[in-house]
Structure 1
Amino acid sequence: MTDVEAAPVLLPTPRRREPVLEIRNLNVDYGLGENAVHAVREVHLTLHRGEVLGLAGESGSGKSTLAYGATRLLPPPGVIAGGQVVYHPRDGEPYDVLALSPRELRAFRWAETSIVFQGAMNSLNPVHKISQQLTDVIRAHTPGLSRAALTARARELLSLVGIAADRLDAYPHQLSGGMRQRVMIGMALALEPQVVIMDEPTTALDVVMQRQILRQLVGLRERLGFSVLFITHDLSLLVEFADRIAIMYGGRIVEEAPSAALYRDSLHPYSHGLLNSFPALRGEKRELTGIPGSPPDLRAMPRGCSFHPRCPKAFEPCGTHLPPLGPPPEAPDAATRTVACWLHPTTAPVG
């Protein structure tokens, strides 16, 4: 775990609040009909240009399903049950990614939005050299480039992520876990996309390598200006380097706030539980409270707020009525955050 009580080492730069990707009322199911599992429910989320947006929650909360649904990478039996994913290109009018034709979708992926998967060893082809895998991505979208130009771009990408160019001829098994993950980041940046989605890219790495990769990621963001949707179950990582953090539980967003505000004063009991589930490396010792119980079964969700069976602050309306996501009226920073909790009822729900 990282030390969130120490001074942050990865300082995000304030950005204009210009949207680059808007997820509007997205619903994702697994299966069809009455037996469908509702994995993502009525999610509204906006990624702004040049920012790092963290998406946190326990395993099974719907984080990866949300990302794969928004990029139309859902494997069967996953289906988009409703909603829009509006992309704002550098030039031209916004458009709905979910309405793209197969040909348009192929052009959209990697060039406009790319994704870094959790397991780099599983994402890289073990029988092909790193050079071939990097150049294949570039060749697919810019077929007119010469072999020399492709190789030069591959070298440039490795240099960009801090890997010596002589590792181009290496196979994935000849690289360390951190190097493989950096190769995946370089591949994701090959066509200079506006949005990079990172699905728990540091989970299998040690703490030192996590921090190295995150430092490098923030530096690349500053240089190239892309936006990042960073998915993780480790909230302590996001506190240090994300501009904003959205908390997901039971397929819904339950709180969203600037990272410093969330760490300083989380409003939802689930967010508070996540923040108190990892130890501090400095300062006074504190007892870890964690979160009792288990995440809900998506096939049989509880009535009302899905967190209420585990919530230490649950009261009468929590078990019968679903709290809307909206700005907390009593918070001084209500304009920059939202929460779905009856402890902070809102009269202006999102969407």
Structure 2
Amino acid sequence: MNGPVLEISGLNVDYGLGDAAVRAVRDIDLTLNRGEILGLAGESGSGKSTLAYAITRLLPPPGVITGGHVRYRPAEGGPADRNGDALKAGTGGAGVDILELGPEQLRAFRWQEISLVFQGAMNSLNPVHSVRSQLTDVLVAHRPEMSRAARNERAAELLSLVGIPADRLGSYPHQLSGGMRQRVMIAMALALEPEIVLLDEPTTALDVVMQRQILRQLVRLREELGFSVVFITHDISLLLEFSDRIAIMYGGRIVEQAAAKDIYRDARHPYSHGLLHSFPALHGPRRELTGIPGSPPDLKGMPTGCAFHPRCPKAIAPCSERVPALAPAGPGNRTVACWLHTEHRSGDS
């Protein structure tokens, strides 16, 4: 990888205000490198989608970002918008802090530098507009200098990128299969050649064959175009197959982060281990599916200490008392937030 393209530090997100506020994302520190596919896994309610919407400033009310930074190109100066005005919100080489962009800067930034394929994207297309109209809308908004012919040519090129014939430009969403609609949404996300694409559960409603086809196509596009990907899903088996690195979320926090192969071979956090043993292996000897007992925590009444300790088969005394910090746990830039590891036993978080 060629250094970080996105750096998240100390990010907190609440739903609601005052005493009624619920903290859905807690002190997230995460880095995405250039050309990398970073997987984000966890059960429903762990904060994965909230994190994606916070990064892109698309949090629906009453979601509020209450702290932290989301820096784009953190080691560089920021890019400029189409009018040549600097988007950089900070100074020096800090890049762009997305959380400090004004409305016009943010509008220019989204889709051009970072795009999002929404959860349930298969049903996100407007049913009364053709594929051509919906692909060219983003070009009209962000590239007003393009002629109609150039926009149509770009729309055809985008469909070709995701494996759909250009003659489907005149089709309406109901005339496409679920997999084709999903690929149209991915094509739309790539229209302005962004450096980062966030995929929020992009294949949930598709069968496993179509899931693999779309994800292999996405990997091919990443190799051809060089963009970075944050791939969010509850299906860790998909991440193991297609991601370079995986971060595991639980109760709004990241509890483990490592290369995909290291997570698969030796998950350090008991929650990561539970996720890995919640689906059957396609190769090797049979093994019992143990799953994870209990239910995810209620964000309105989080347990003290480590949020996972009420469900953890390996909980020890400090687990119910203190929150473990996300700290180094071996080679390869692996980090784990767990009191089972000696790196955490010497002090409090």
Q: TM-score, normalised by structure 1?
A: 0.92
SS at match of 1:169: coil
Q: What is the one-letter code of the residue matched to 1:264?
A: R
In structure 2, distance between residues paired with 1:236 and 1:121? 21
The CA deviation at 1:286 is 1.2
- CA deviations over 1:243-269 (Å, ceiling 9, x no partner): 000000000000000000010000000
Once the two structures are superposed, what CA deviation does each residue of 1:207-242 show, in whole Å capped at 9, x if it has no partner?
100110111000000000000000000000000110
Which of 333, 338, 347 does residue 335 from structure 2 map onto? 338
Query: Contact conserved, 1:131 with 1:168, CA < 8 A, in 2?
Result: yes
| Deviation string, structure 1 residues 141-166 (Cα, Å, up to 9, x no partner) | 00011111110000000000000001
Match of 1:66 among 40, 51, 55: 51
How much has 1:342 moved relative to structure 2?
0.2
Partner of 1:346, secondary structure, is helix
Structure-2 separation of matches of 1:110 and 1:236? 29
Return the alpha-carbon distance in structure 1 between the equivalents of residues 202 and 102 of structure 2.
29
Equivalent in the alignment of 1:39: 24
TM-superposed deviation, 1:341? 0.1
1:193-208 paired onto structure 2 within 5 Å: 193-208=194-209
Corresponding position of 1:57:
42
2:52, 2:292 → 1: CA distance?
25
1:26–1:84 CA contact under 8 A, matched in 2:
yes
CA distance in 1, matches of 2:207, 2:275: 20
Q: What does residue 101 of structure 2 align with?
A: 100
Q: Could you list the per-position Cα deviations for residues 262-314 of structure 1 after superposition, in whole angstroms to 9, with x for gaps in the alignment? A: 10000000000000000122332211000000000000000000000000000
How big is each residue's C-alpha offset from its partner over 1:114-155, in whole Å with a ceiling of 9 and x where there is no partner?
A: 001121243111110000000001110000111111100000
Matched, 1:233 2:234: yes
TM-score w.r.t. length of structure 2: 0.92
Task: Report the equivalent of 1:270.
Answer: 271
Change (3 A) 1:91 1:98: closer
% identity of equivalent residues: 72
Tell me the CA shift for residue 91 of structure 1.
6.3
| Kept after mapping to 2: 8 A contact 1:161/1:216 | yes
Matches within 5 A, 1:133-282: 133-282=134-283
Instruction: Output the CA distance in 1 between the equivalents of 2:168 and 2:289.
Output: 43
Alignment of 1:288-307 (within 5 A): 288-307=289-308
Asked whether the 8 Å contact 1:325–1:346 carries over to 2, the reply is: no
Q: Match of 1:140, SS?
A: helix
What secondary structure, in the 3-state scheme, does the structure 2 residue paired with 1:46 have?
Answer: strand
Decide whether the 8 Å contact of 2:77 with 2:96 is kept in 1: no
RMSD value over aligned CA atoms? 1.5
Equivalent AA in structure 2 for residue 172 of structure 1: P
Q: Tell me the distance in 2 between the aligned counterparts of 1:121 and 1:20.
A: 28
The residue type paired with residue 270 of structure 2 is P
* Count of matched residue pairs: 331
Instruction: Give the letter for the 1:346 counterpart.
Output: E
Does the 8 Å contact 1:120/1:177 carry over to 2?
Answer: no
Counterpart-to-counterpart distance in 2, 1:251 and 1:121: 26
* Runs of 5+ unmatched residues, structure 2: 79-92
